[in-house]
């Protein structure tokens, strides 16, 4: 057995072990979900871990539906897990739905946005990133002043752009209208790159990303050096070109799993900085700003045991909660 074959064999074994472990975690009753949601609202990290662990199979079930769209199973599961974390923090049993129904929305949303970012990334030089940011601000300013959408030439004149700059912006804006069509069970949703870039509730980041780079970089001061580097590379804050977990791992000399742990720990810190103070402690008071009025239904077999696709890389979910301890999957 050569080195490559042995490595693939080991990765497949890791994923099989992960699936076996999560299949051994017992599911929750409606009463248990309600009790855990109330505990989570009080800041109980153990309750949040329990809610997440009991629904890891749901993430895998949904993630497998998105195979073949440009992302490996471990990355799909990782993105779905971030959506699951978001759901655990915002679930309110008072809505009259089970947690799996509510969580499915956030899991799918997180995976969809990851697919959009993977499939339609436009690598812009840093100066173009700044120019497009100014362009969007100018559009909003002129819209407020005039009570209607400004024309391309009006925005260009407001910014004092040269003909060359106008041409570059026009090309970038045309490219940003590319659509990524996504079949999502019973619904057909079309997302544009603009919507992805400006999306402020992305579960993969769990924070509102401002278009003002200065504000983003200011928040990064709360992170240690390695966390700051990982976030900057992951979201393209250095040169406008986001990197994958694997690419970041190669650059800083660690495995993709360590990069994932660092990323989620850093995102949790940033979320704590960005989140407005809440005076209420009920689950409803912590509800995300955007949620489905009619959540996407979950298939009846959503919690069925899952088996690993042969040759797939492993998936791992670290959970950050104050001191950022990892989730320990029941064995």
Verify that 47 and 149 share a domain, yes or no: no
**Are 309 and 11 contacting, i.e. CB atoms less than 8 angstroms apart?**
no
Tens digit of each residue's pLDDT (9 = 90 or more) over 34-72 = 999 999 999 998 999 999 999 999 999 999 998 888 788
Please provide residue 191's backbone torsions phi and psi, each rounded to the nearest 5 degrees. Answer: -115, 135
pLDDT of the residue at 108? 92
Whichever domain contains 64, its CATH number is 1.20.120.1810
Both 294 and 258 in one domain: the answer is no
| 291: in domain | yes
Q: Which residue has the tokens 């041409």?
A: 167
How confident is the model at residue 235, as a pLDDT? 75
CATH of the domain at 147: 1.10.10
Q: Which residues 6+ apart lie within 8 Å of 158 measured at CB?
A: 138, 141, 142, 150
182 found inside a domain: no
CATH number of the domain within which 251 lies:
1.10.10.10
- Asked if residue 284 has pLDDT above 50, the reply is no
Express as a percent the part of the chain with pLDDT over 90.
19
Averaged pLDDT score across all residues of the chain: 69
Question: Over the Cα atoms of the chain, what is R_g?
Answer: 21
DSSP structure string for 211-226:
S-HHHHHHHHTTS-HH
Domain that residue 263 falls in = 208-274
Decide if 2 is inside a domain: no
Q: How many CB atoms lie within 10 A of CB 304?
A: 13
Do 154 and 130 fall within a single domain?
yes
- Based on the fold, state whether residues 226 and 255 are members of the same structural domain: yes
């Amino acid at each position: 057995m050569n080195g490559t074959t042995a490595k693939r064999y080991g990765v497949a074994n890791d994923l099989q072990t992960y699936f076996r472990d999560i299949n051994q975690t017992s599911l929750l009753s409606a009463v248990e979900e309600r009790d855990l949601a109330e505990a989570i609202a009080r800041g109980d990290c153990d309750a949040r871990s329990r809610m997440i662990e009991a629904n890891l199979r749901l993430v895998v079930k949904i993630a497998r539906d998105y195979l073949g769209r440009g992302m490996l199973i471990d990355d799909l599961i990782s993105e779905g897990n971030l959506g699951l974390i978001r759901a655990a923090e915002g679930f309110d049993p008072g809505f009259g739905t089970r947690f799996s129904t509510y969580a499915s929305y956030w899991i799918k949303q997180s995976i969809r946005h990851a697919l959009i970012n993977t499939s339609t990334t436009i690598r812009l030089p840093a100066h173009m990133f700044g120019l497009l940011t100014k362009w969007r601000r100018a559009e909003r300013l002129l819209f407020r002043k005039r009570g209607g959408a400004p024309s391309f030439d009006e925005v260009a004149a407001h910014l004092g752009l040269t003909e060359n700059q106008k041409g570059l912006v026009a090309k970038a804006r045309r490219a940003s209208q590319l659509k990524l069509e996504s079949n999502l069970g019973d619904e057909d949703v079309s997302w544009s790159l603009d919507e992805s870039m400006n999306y402020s509730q992305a579960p993969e980041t769990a924070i509102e990303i401002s278009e003002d780079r200065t504000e983003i970089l200011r928040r990064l001061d709360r992170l240690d050096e390695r966390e700051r580097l990982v976030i900057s590379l992951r979201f393209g804050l250095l040169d406008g070109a986001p990197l994958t977990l694997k690419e970041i791992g190669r650059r800083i000399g660690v495995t993709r799993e360590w990069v994932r742990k660092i990323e989620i720990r850093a995102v949790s810190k940033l979320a704590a900085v960005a989140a407005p103070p809440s005076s209420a402690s009920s689950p409803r008071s912590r509800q995300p700003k955007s949620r489905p009025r009619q959540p996407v239904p979950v298939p009846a077999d959503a919690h069925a045991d899952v088996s690993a696709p042969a040759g797939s890389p492993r998936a791992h979910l670290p959970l950050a909660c104050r001191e950022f301890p990892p989730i320990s999957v029941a064995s």
